[in-house]
């Protein structure tokens, strides 16, 4: 079977690395609009023993639905690892060519627009699954699985963080994905479920302390946008409370909160000495320069469920940079789950058609097997007898 990967950046190349190594995959089309990015990905894969015999690199106009459709044509499934603003175009191209698609998501409004294409995908016999990365993505499937395992669940809590292995003041952070994506999490409204209904809360609110095993210790968690995604609709009415918070080392959020208060995350250009400057764009570039170091990263995840009888269960994952492959923890926990879902779309494991959130498209049991095959050691924790 032939599978396409749209986007040859950090996540796309990691997904391609996973897929091209699968014996059932005959070829992986790796497409990008930037020749230097595509060349870098080919070099990255070549250094990890992936030759050009099953890898098909393509330079494509990512902004064109027609060009994307040409790239997808001939594949049975595709994984979109492009910036979220391009996910709708990829969805339209997939429906038009009859190719199943999953993507890394990242923006609830874009996902809402993809869900509006459900009837079109259904008519085309296509399955489109947005939000298949870490959070949203892995966390969606784990949260839905907990509801099945723990009847009477009233509360779902999702806590996730991509962190530096060696935190350094004053930001105590390492840039593990796009700075634009990071700032988005800190400025957009955050969807939660309260008293059984979806509502929104302000970003960077709801501070709480969360303890992880050493050397991490006590971390801070606050509301950030995007992580709950479709769960607030899928599980509203089934649970009374649901929220997503990002984990950071203590001190990071205080700095970000100050920047937000100063207006440094505003996108609108302002005149400074006669020069029009977007505060947000400037901050993003400074974050890119200041936080792009050679420190390794870690990903911490905890998804927990609570019943009215105070029974609890949860999933926990602590993942680190792989010293053998060189894949970062964020690449492993974002790209590899998405690659697993792309493979499920291609091999017929996912049978329902239409535009479906991951918690509806993928069963917990099959997903957990796929994660553990990829060395993602998700642990099930419970106090049930």
- List pLDDT tens digits, range 329-358: 999 999 999 999 999 999 999 999 999 999
CB 3 within 8 A of CB 28: yes
pLDDT for position 335? 97
Confidence of residue 384 (pLDDT cuts 50, 70, 90): low
Percentage of the chain beyond pLDDT 90 is 84
Q: What confidence tens digit (pLDDT) does each residue in 22-72 have?
A: 999 999 999 999 999 999 999 999 988 887 788 999 999 988 999 999 999
Nearest to 123 by CA among 375, 355, 377, 376: 355
User: First and final CA of the chain: distance in angstroms?
Assistant: 45
Q: What confidence tens digit (pLDDT) does each residue in 133-170 have?
A: 999 999 999 999 999 999 899 999 999 999 999 999 99
Q: Are strands 55-59 and 77-80 parallel, antiparallel or unpaired?
A: unpaired
pLDDT for position 176? 77
- Domains of the chain from N-terminus onward: 2-130 (3.40.50.720), 138-331+377-382 (3.30.360.10)
Counting beta carbons within 10 angstroms of the beta carbon of residue 351, is it exposed (0 to 12), middle (13 to 18) or buried (19 or more)? exposed
* Over residues 275-283, mean pLDDT: 92
Residue 117 has pLDDT above 60, yes or no: yes
Q: What confidence tens digit (pLDDT) does each residue in 303-327 have?
A: 999 998 888 999 999 999 999 999 9
Counting beta carbons within 10 angstroms of the beta carbon of residue 319, is it exposed (0 to 12), middle (13 to 18) or buried (19 or more)? buried
Record the tokens describing residue 159, joined without a space.
Answer: 């806590």
* Over residues 96-102, mean pLDDT: 97
pLDDT for position 51? 74
Label residues 211-222 b or e (16+ Cβ within 10 Å = b).
Answer: ebeeebeebbbb
Residue 292 has pLDDT above 80, yes or no: no
CB 108 within 8 A of CB 229: yes
User: Concatenated DSSP letters for 208-260?
Assistant: EEEEETTTTEEEEEEE-SSSSTTHHHHSBTTBSEEEEEEEE-TTHHHHHHHHH
Q: How many other CB atoms sit within 10 Å of the CB of residue 47? A: 10
pTM over 0.85: yes
Highest mean pLDDT range out of 233-237, 286-290, 355-359?
355-359
């Amino acid at each position: 079977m032939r599978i396409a990967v749209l986007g040859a950046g950090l996540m796309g190349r990691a997904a391609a690395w996973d897929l091209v190594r699968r014996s059932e995959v005959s070829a992986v089309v790796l497409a990008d609009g930037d020749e230097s990015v595509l060349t870098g990905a080919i070099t990255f894969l070549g250094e990890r023993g992936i030759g050009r015999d099953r890898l098909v690199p393509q330079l494509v106009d990512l902004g064109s639905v027609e060009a994307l459709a040409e790239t997808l044509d001939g594949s049975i499934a595709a994984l979109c690892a492009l910036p979220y603003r391009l996910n709708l175009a990829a969805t339209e191209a997939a429906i038009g060519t009859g190719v199943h698609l999953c993507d890394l998501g990242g923006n609830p409004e874009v996902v809402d627009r993809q869900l509006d294409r459900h009837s079109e995908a259904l008519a085309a016999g296509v399955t489109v699954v947005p939000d298949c990365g870490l959070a949203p993505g892995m966390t969606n499937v784990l949260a839905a699985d907990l509801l099945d395992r723990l009847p009477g669940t009233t509360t779902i809590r999702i806590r996730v963080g991509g962190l530096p292995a060696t935190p350094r003041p004053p930001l105590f952070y390492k840039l593990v994905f796009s700075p634009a994506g990071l700032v988005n999490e800190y400025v957009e409204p955050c969807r939660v479920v309260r008293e059984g209904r979806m509502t929104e809360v302000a970003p960077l609110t709801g501070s709480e302390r969360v303890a992880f095993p050493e050397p991490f210790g006590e971390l801070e968690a606050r509301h950030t946008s995007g992580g709950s995604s479709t769960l607030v609709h899928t599980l509203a009415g089934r649970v009374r409370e649901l929220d997503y918070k990002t984990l950071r080392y203590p001190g990071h959020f205080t700095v970000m909160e100050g920047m937000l208060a100063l207006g440094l995350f505003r996108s609108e250009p302002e005149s400074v000495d006669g020069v029009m400057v977007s505060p947000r764009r400037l901050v993003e570039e400074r974050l890119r320069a200041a936080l792009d170091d050679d420190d390794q990263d870690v990903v911490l995840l905890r998804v927990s469920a609570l019943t009215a009888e105070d029974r609890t269960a949860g999933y926990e994952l602590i993942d680190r940079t792989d010293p053998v492959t060189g894949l970062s923890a964020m690449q492993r926990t974002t790209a590899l789950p998405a690659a697993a879902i792309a493979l499920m779309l291609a091999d017929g494991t996912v049978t329902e058609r239409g535009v479906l959130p991951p918690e509806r498209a993928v069963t917990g049991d099959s997903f957990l097997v796929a994660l553990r095959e990829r060395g993602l050691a998700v642990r099930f924790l419970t106090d049930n007898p």
